[in-house]
Amino acid sequence: MANIGFIGLGIMGAPMAGHLIDGGHAVCTAVHATPAPGELTGKGLKVVGSNKEVAEASDVIIVMVPDTPHVAQVLFGENGVAEGLSGGKTVIDMSSIAPIETKEFAKRINDLGCDYLDAPVSGGEVGARAASLTIMVGGEKKAFDAATPLFELMGQNITLVGGNGDGQTTKVANQIIVALNIEAVSEALLFASKAGADPAKVREALMGGFASSKILEVHGERMIKRTFDPGFRIELHQKDLNLALQSARAIGVALPNTATAQELFNACAAHGGSAWDHSAMVKALEMLAGHEVAKG
């Protein structure tokens, strides 16, 4: 059994922490504006006063927060994790943040005599609840090997990609692919619907062919059934595509279709959709067409 600190008990973090508790580990978190979920405290989740206290009480500290500045605050802010670390502990950042800053965070934690893994995930709320997340890891192999039993409680496809920052780079690549797939499925179902075909039947037919994908399966159904409560919010995907576009500029790579997908997300956000599920990108295309997929 390990003593684990888990900071960030949101839509995905809460079920991930729950799987660790179910796996027999002692898990603690810090007091924040949002109370710890009752189902976790009922299972034995311990709540302490600060992120520093989380680090002091834990052998492994997992961070699962929205963006780069949040990770910086959790780790290095007042009463942050870094203040509570002692040699030999491991910090695992499972947030999706900037690769360059990740390398800087890793160096600062390493200088304190601790290991650092960047381990962003893919799979959304569904994957978090089912413990089927894809986990993309950057860091030293020794630290990865030690953390793998914890990862296996939260996910299924677990890969050590390379050094620190490479996990986050992989997640950015993942988010490019996901966004462009959502855009493709949106266009296809909108086209089929406006042409007079039943989009549900079109989706069913496409699921048996080369166009089949997880996005067509899960998000295509959302588009047809109009279920846009967030599994993964548009504002978070906007953040990830910003990372992609900023990094691309820095290394001299053109990502034209990524930029288009971002503009569609921006259009949704401008119409009050920042908190919609990212499958609601289809709404931006529907506004341009004056037609909803579900009204085929």
Annotated catalytic residue: which of 52, 89, 171, 239?
A: 171
In this structure, what is the dihedral angle of CA atoms 187, 215, 218, 234, given to the nearest 10 degrees? Answer: -80
Candidates 94, 31, 97; CA nearest to 60 is: 94
Active site residue 103: no
Torsion over CA: 138, 7, 15, 128 (sign)? negative
The set of catalytic residues is 171
